[in-house]
Amino acid sequence: MDKIQLIDTLPNVFVNRENIVSGIWNQKVTFEREKLYLVEANSGTGKSSLCSFIYGYRHDYQGQILFDGEDISKYSVAKWTDIRQHHFSLLWQELRMFPELTAWENVEIKNKLTNHQSKEQILEWFEMLGITDKLNAKMGRMSFGQQQRVALIRALCQPFDFLFVDEPISHLDDTNAAIMGQIMTTEAKKQGAGIIATSIGKHIELPYDQVFNL
Amino acid sequence: MNLVWKLLRQHISIPQFVGFFFANLVGVVIILLGVQFYKDYQAIDQEDSFMKADYMIVNKKIGALSGLSGTQHTFTAADIADLKESGFVEKIGAFTPSSFNVKARFDVEGFVSFSTEMFFESVPDEFVDVKSEAWAYHKGSNEIPIILPKNYLDLYNFGYAQGKGLPKLSEGILGAMKLKIIIEGNGQNDEFEGRIVGFSSRLNTILVPASFMRWANGQYASQEGEKEPTRLIMEVANPTDERITSYLQEHDYETDEEKLEASKTTFVLRVIVSIVMIVGIVISILSFYILMLSVFLLVQKNSSKLENLLLIGYSPARVSFPYQALTVGLNVLVLILAVIIMLVIRSVYLDMFENFFPDFEAPGVLLALCVGLGLLVLVSIFNVIAVYNKVMSIWNRKE
C-alpha cells in the first residue's frame, strides 16, 4: 500500500454540524509512504473516528477513503485481516492490551501471528524503553505509561506500510518519548513506511513532513 | 494458539459445561439405545425372514357339525373374491394341500430315527421370501425344499430330547440334514430327499414349493380335479386394521391370533421406542441449547478480548477456532462415552435375549454408530457456524 486518500470524508455525527474548519474532514487529503505526518486535534474533533475508519472497524462516515485508489468500504473480512497483519499497524489511544497476559505475552501474541520480529529485537526494545523488569508482569498491574511502551513494541511486531500512532506519548516523560520516537522512525525507515501520529497537545518531536489540524 | 487459548478460556464456566455434558450424554445414550434396541428386537422378531412381513393366514371355523360334513370349511371362489374386495387385503393366495400320502423319515445317525405320516401344502411363491434358487423344484430332481413349523423343532428339543436326555438340535444343524420323504399314491411309490430351508413359527404347516405341488398332485393324486382350499394366506397393509377383525368375525373366519397379537406388539413397541427416542432427541436439543447459551455467554463475556484479537490482525476463523474446538471436542467426548454406555447396557439385555431365544444372533451396532455420528456431524456443524457468526457480529460491531 503506497497511498491513503481521504476524499470529502466526514463522520456521520458531524454531518449536521455547521462551519467545520478542519484540515482533514471534508478535504482531499493524501498520506504517502516514507513520510511523517502529525494530526493535531482538540478533543471531540474525531481523532479516534479517523483511526477506526482507516483501520476498517467503523464505517459511519460520508465521502470516500481510498487505499491506492481502491475504495475501502468494499473490502472483505479476509482483506482487512491481511491489511492488519501486513500493511497497517495501529497504536490505539486506549492501547487495547490484554490485562490477563504479561507484557511479554502481549507482544508475543502479535508476533506469533506475523513472525515478524526476532526475540532479541523485542527484548532490545524492552531494554531501550526501560521496562525489561516488567517482562513477566501482568499487563493489568502496570501503569498506563508502561503499558503504552509495551503497546508500541506490539505495534512494531508486524510488517507495515503505515504506522498510525494515536497519542502515543500521552503518559510518557520526554526522555521516553524521545526513545519511542527514535524506535518508531528507525523501524519505519527500515520498512519504507509512513507514520501518522496524532496528539492533543503533547507530541513527539520528529521532523514532520506535514502537519494537519483536525 | 496457546496464548489465544489462554486468553479465551477466561470466564469458561465449568458447571455450565458439565451440565451440558451430562444432559447431552443422557440424550445421546437414549437415542443410541433406542435405535439399537429396536434393531435388536427386530432380529428376534424376524425369525421368519423367508416369509414376507405382514401376512395372515385365515381359515373357516370348524364347528361340531361342519367338521363332519367335510366340505363347508373350504373357501369357494366367491369367498376369495369377496375377501379381495374387502379393502385391507393387498395380496391373497390359497393353500394347496397334497392329494397323496407322504411319509417322512429322519435319521440322526446313532441317535434317533423318526418316521411319521405327514402332508404337504404349498402357497404361491410370491408369499415365500427365499431366494429363488433355494426354493425352486426342478422336475426330475429328487430334492424337495421344505419349510417346517418351528413347533416341530420345539417339540423335539423341549419335549422329546429333554425327556430322553438327547442333545438339543439347533435350526442350523437340522437345516444341514436331509429328510427322507416317501410319496405314495396313484399306485406309485417314490423316494425323495427333503432339504429344510427354514423353520417358521407362524406357518403351521409343512410347506413345499408350488411348482413341486403342481407336479406331484398331477403325478400321484388318486382323484382328478383340484380341491377347494381350506386355508388362505393374505398380505395386509396394516395388521392392526380394525376392519380385519370385524370382517373375520362377520364371516366366521379364524386367523392365528398370535400373529395378530405379535404384529400389534411390534406396532406398540415401535410407538414406544419412537416416543423414547423423541424424549432423547428433546433432551439432546435442550442440552444443545444449554451449550449454545454457555458459548454465547462466554463470547459475550470475552467480547472485548475477541474484539482486540480481531483488531490486532487475527482472522475471525482463527478467533472462533478455540470455541469451536471446545464445543466439537465436547460433542465427540459425549458420543464416545454414550457409545460405551450404550454397549454396556446392551450387553445386559443381550444376555437376556440370548437366554430366551437360543437362535438369536445379535445384529451389528453399525446403524446406531451411524446415527450417533450423523448427530455429531449435524450438531457440530451447527456449533461451528453459530460460534463463527457470533464472532462475526463482534467484527461487525453489532454487539
Paired strand residues for B182: B103, B191
What letter represents residue B322's amino acid?
P
Q: Would you call A113 and B6 a contact, using CB atoms and an 8 Å cutoff?
A: no
Determine the average pLDDT of the residues in B53-71: 66
Contact A164, A51 (CB under 8 A): yes
Assess B398–A contact: CB distance below 8 Å, yes or no: no
Contact B335, B372 (CB under 8 A): yes
Nearest to A163 by CA among A61, A84, A104, A97: A84
3-state SS class at B193: strand
Helix axes B366-395, B303-311, angle to 10 degrees: 70
Asked whether the predicted pLDDT for residue B218 surpasses 90, the reply is: no
Rounded CA gap, B300 and B302, in Å?
5
Degrees to nearest 5, angle at CA A102 with A101 and A107: 90
Rounded CA gap, B104 and B182, in Å?
6
Determine the average pLDDT of the residues in B174-196: 82
- Tell me the whole-structure pTM to 2 decimals: 0.70
Q: Would you call A158 and B305 a contact, using CB atoms and an 8 Å cutoff?
A: no
Asked whether the predicted pLDDT for residue B225 surpasses 90, the reply is: no
Query: Which residue does chain B place closest to A113, by CA atoms?
Result: B314
Query: Which residue does chain A place closest to B311, by CA atoms?
Result: A84
Question: What pLDDT shows up at residue B51?
Answer: 53
Please give the order of strands across the beta sheet that includes B89-94: B89-94, B231-236, B55-60, B253-255
Asked whether the predicted pLDDT for residue B226 surpasses 60, the reply is: yes
B303-330 core/surface letters (b: 16 or more CB in 10 A; e: else): eebbbbbbbbbbbbebbbbbbbebbbeb
Degrees to nearest 5, angle at CA A208 with A206 and A212: 125
Question: What pLDDT shows up at residue B399?
Answer: 45
CA B250 from centre of chain: 32
B312, B388, B394: which to substitute to probe chain A, counting the most A Cβ within 10 Å?
A: B312
Smallest Cβ distance to B313: which of A92, A101, A113? Answer: A113
Q: What is the CATH code for A3-213? A: 3.40.50.300
User: Whole-number mean pLDDT of chain B?
Assistant: 82
Compute chain A's Rg from CA coordinates.
Answer: 17
Nearest to A183 by CA among A152, A144, A207: A152
Q: Which range is least confidently modeled, A153-157, B153-157, B257-261, B310-314?
A: B257-261
pLDDT tens track for B89-146: 888 888 888 888 888 887 766 666 777 888 888 888 877 766 556 778 887 788 888 8
Rounded CA gap, A41 and A201, in Å?
8
Asked whether the predicted pLDDT for residue B383 surpasses 70, the reply is: yes
Shortest Cα distance, chain B CAs vs residue A211, angstroms:
27
Q: Which residues of B touch A85 (CB under 8 A)?
A: 313
Asked whether the predicted pLDDT for residue B237 surpasses 80, the reply is: no
Q: Phi and psi (nearest 5°) for B100?
A: -150, 170
Each domain of chain A, given as residue ranges in start order, spans 3-213
Each domain of chain B, given as residue ranges in start order, spans 2-47+264-395, 97-227
Joined together, the cell numbers standing for residue B97 give 394341500
Q: Would you call A112 and B316 a contact, using CB atoms and an 8 Å cutoff?
A: no
Assess B396–A contact: CB distance below 8 Å, yes or no: no
Half-sphere exposure of B108 (CA within 13 A, CB side): 13
Question: What pLDDT shows up at residue A105?
Answer: 95
3-state SS class at A172: coil
Query: Which residue does chain B place closest to A51, by CA atoms?
Result: B311
Q: Which residues of A touch B309 (CB under 8 A)?
A: 109
Residues 6+ apart with CB under 8 A from B354: B360, B362
Give mean pLDDT in consecutive 10-residue pieces for chain A, a chain of 214 residues.
Answer: 93 86 91 94 86 91 94 93 95 94 95 94 95 94 95 96 93 92 95 93 88 90
Assess B301–A contact: CB distance below 8 Å, yes or no: no
Contact B317, B388 (CB under 8 A): yes
Of the segments B48-62, B145-159, B301-315, which one has the largest average pLDDT value?
B301-315
Residues 6+ apart with CB under 8 A from B243: B86, B87, B88
Rounded CA gap, B155 and B391, in Å?
71
What letter represents residue A211's amino acid?
V
Degrees to nearest 5, angle at CA B250 with B249 and B256: 30
Residues 6+ apart with CB under 8 A from B205: B95, B119, B121, B149, B231
Question: What pLDDT shows up at residue B265?
Answer: 76
Q: Which range is least confidently modeled, B47-61, B84-98, B118-132, B145-159?
A: B47-61
Residues 6+ apart with CB under 8 A from B320: B384, B387, B388, B390, B391
Determine the average pLDDT of the residues in B365-386: 93
- pLDDT confidence band for B54 (50 / 70 / 90): low
Assess A3–B contact: CB distance below 8 Å, yes or no: no
CB pairs under 8 A between A and B: 50
Neighbours of B131 (CB within 10 A): 9
